[in-house]
Amino acid sequence: MTNPLPDALATWAEAARVRSLNAHGVRPAARYVLCWLQQALRARDNPVIDAAICLANDLGLPVLVYHGLREDYPYASDRLHRFILGASRDLSLECRQRGVACIQYVDRAEKREKGLVYRLAAESAAVLVEDQPTFVARWQSERFAARTDRAVLAVNAACLVPPAILGDDIGSTTAFRRRHEPLRADWLTASDLMAELAPYDGPLPFVPDRLDTSTDADIDRLVAAAAIDHSLPPSPMFPLGRGGALEKLERLMDTVLPTYAAVRNDATNPVGASTLSPYLHFGVVGPREIMATVEAAAAPAGAKDKFADELLTWREWFHYQASALVEPERYDRISGWARETLEAHAADPRPELETLDALLHGETRDESWNACQRQFLVDGWMHNNLRMYWGKRIIAMTPDPQTAWATACYLNDRLSLDGRDPSTYGNIAASFGGGSPGREGPAVYGKVPTRSDGSTRHRPDGPAWLEAAATRPRPEVAVPADLPVDLYLEGRAPA
């Protein structure tokens, strides 16, 4: 059972983004309203912070923003940790500029305390969390809401149009686009509410970290001191924090957008894609700010429309789908016809089987697949046009469809900065059989349409590009004894 929204939020202009996660009421006799962020790591244009300010102003309380980083989330590595901490550093810096207190806690050898969000919640009127439909942020928020005695309110900060106002009956991207497009204009302006009270400066139940004055070297020290996977290095392609996101936005406006419609499918073209997805995944930038950049760019209308369709139709469609699923990461989300045909072919001869080591390191017998995988391994990102080929080929390289699903999700989630996202599982499900069945095809795939590497290989410089991409210097990463199949076959990770 859940509660109705408190009046201040029920009448807020962005109320459609908010829902109660438990049945507890707001307790006005408190020190602050707690805003617990996990993935929406930006201080401005952040509806979770805005909702917290809206409620806090009504109660005459300050807001306290909290971001904690544990060592035991799945796939914690130097790559993910460094990117997250860079975003968190700028979150606290910009919270301070916005007049809101922000504290952090980073687990590491000399400092490991548990239950911090519960301790902070004990002094709060209510806790605002983000409404994320996949992976750790969802699992933690739901578990916390079930265990705490405080009101927990979840706010959608990831989408331009809150999925809740779209209804629950949309079954295709065409229908989604039709319903979503007319609503967009209403959601293009950020609330950016102002806190009426001074930043919270009272007692805290633990000694926090304050990252706002951290240098990149300080962040590197925190990463080095954490018990995480140190074999996967940070990506040089994605500068940290808001500075990194703003650099990508400027590049989008000046270089990418003008030719986007024409070159976005060319993986060999270095300006074909915005490379914004890691910043979007970790909320360093939101769709509103990106759309404002698109509007301001001197680019053809067709290019702007194409980009908006990727960002607003495709991305938000996968968020909408994931919001409707209890466990969007699971194999059984693949369409029924695709599971049926793939399972009917599970016993087919599989001459292209590869080891997990060869797959992880991009050292299979398929040069084109290796070129794709090296982007994940080295850059922590992959070009859109390569991803469908990459996903479909895994079906032939693994022993059965369930292992194929778990392998694709594992590689994407562990290596890519934008992994663990609604777009991860939605797109992998689409490459394993979105749309309608094709004609019975080659062994292993059944009615699942295959895809060739032609869109890259058949370009004039395609073969040379593929060869260079497939042999890029790469890190030697730790190879697990067993693939973590439970997460993708049985359901969410343990508490």
Please report, as ranges, the residues that interact with ligand FAD according to CB under 6 A. 264, 273-277, 280-281, 310-311, 314-315, 318, 384, 387-388, 391, 412, 416, 418-419, 421, 423-424, 427-428, 431
Q: Strand, coil or helix: what is 444?
A: coil
Q: Which is nearer to ligand FAD, 105 or 279 (CB)?
A: 279
CA distance readout (Å), 305 to 90, 170, 299, 316, 384:
31, 22, 10, 15, 17
Q: Which is nearer to ligand FAD, 131 or 421 (CB)?
A: 421
Closest CA to 389 of 328, 440, 457: 457
Least Å distance between CB 266 and ligand FAD?
Answer: 11
Q: Which is nearer to ligand FAD, 51 or 371 (CB)?
A: 371
- Residue 437 · residue 337 · CB < 8 Å: yes
Least Å distance between CB 468 and ligand FAD?
Answer: 20
Least Å distance between CB 242 and ligand FAD?
Answer: 17
Least Å distance between CB 210 and ligand FAD?
Answer: 30
Least Å distance between CB 430 and ligand FAD?
Answer: 7
Least Å distance between CB 276 and ligand FAD?
Answer: 4
Least Å distance between CB 293 and ligand FAD?
Answer: 11
- Residue 426 · residue 329 · CB < 8 Å: no
Q: Which is nearer to ligand FAD, 88 or 275 (CB)?
A: 275
| Burial annotation 340-353 (CB, 10 A radius, 16+ → b, else e) | ebbeebeeeebeee
Measured between alpha carbons, how far is 15 from 162 in angstroms, rounded to an integer? 10
- Residue 193 · residue 57 · CB < 8 Å: yes
Q: Which is nearer to ligand FAD, 21 or 372 (CB)?
A: 372
Total residues found in the chain within this entry: 495
Phi, psi of 57 (to 5 degrees): -60, -40
Q: Which is nearer to ligand FAD, 341 or 412 (CB)?
A: 412
Q: Which is nearer to ligand FAD, 121 or 372 (CB)?
A: 372
CA distance readout (Å), 424 to 85, 150, 187, 301, 349:
22, 32, 25, 28, 28
- Residue 412 · residue 421 · CB < 8 Å: no
Identity of the amino acid at 85: L
User: Both ends of the chain: CA-CA distance in Å?
Assistant: 22
Measured between alpha carbons, how far is 332 from 339 in angstroms, rounded to an integer? 8
Closest CA to 495 of 197, 114, 232: 114
CA distance readout (Å), 419 to 99, 172, 281, 336, 413:
32, 23, 8, 24, 4
Q: Which is nearer to ligand FAD, 208 or 258 (CB)?
A: 258
Least Å distance between CB 262 and ligand FAD?
Answer: 13
Least Å distance between CB 402 and ligand FAD?
Answer: 17
Q: Which is nearer to ligand FAD, 108 or 393 (CB)?
A: 393
Q: Which two tokens stand for residue 471?
A: 């042999």
- If one counts every other C-beta atom within 10 angstroms of the C-beta of residue 225, the result is 15
Q: Which is nearer to ligand FAD, 68 or 286 (CB)?
A: 286
Q: Strand, coil or helix: what is 370?
A: helix
Least Å distance between CB 88 and ligand FAD?
Answer: 20
Least Å distance between CB 355 and ligand FAD?
Answer: 21
Q: Which residues on neighbouring strands pair with residue 68, listed in sequence order?
A: 105
Q: Which is nearer to ligand FAD, 6 or 286 (CB)?
A: 286
Q: Which two tokens stand for residue 281?
A: 């995944």
Identity of the amino acid at 337: W
What kind and span of H or E run contains 39?
Answer: none
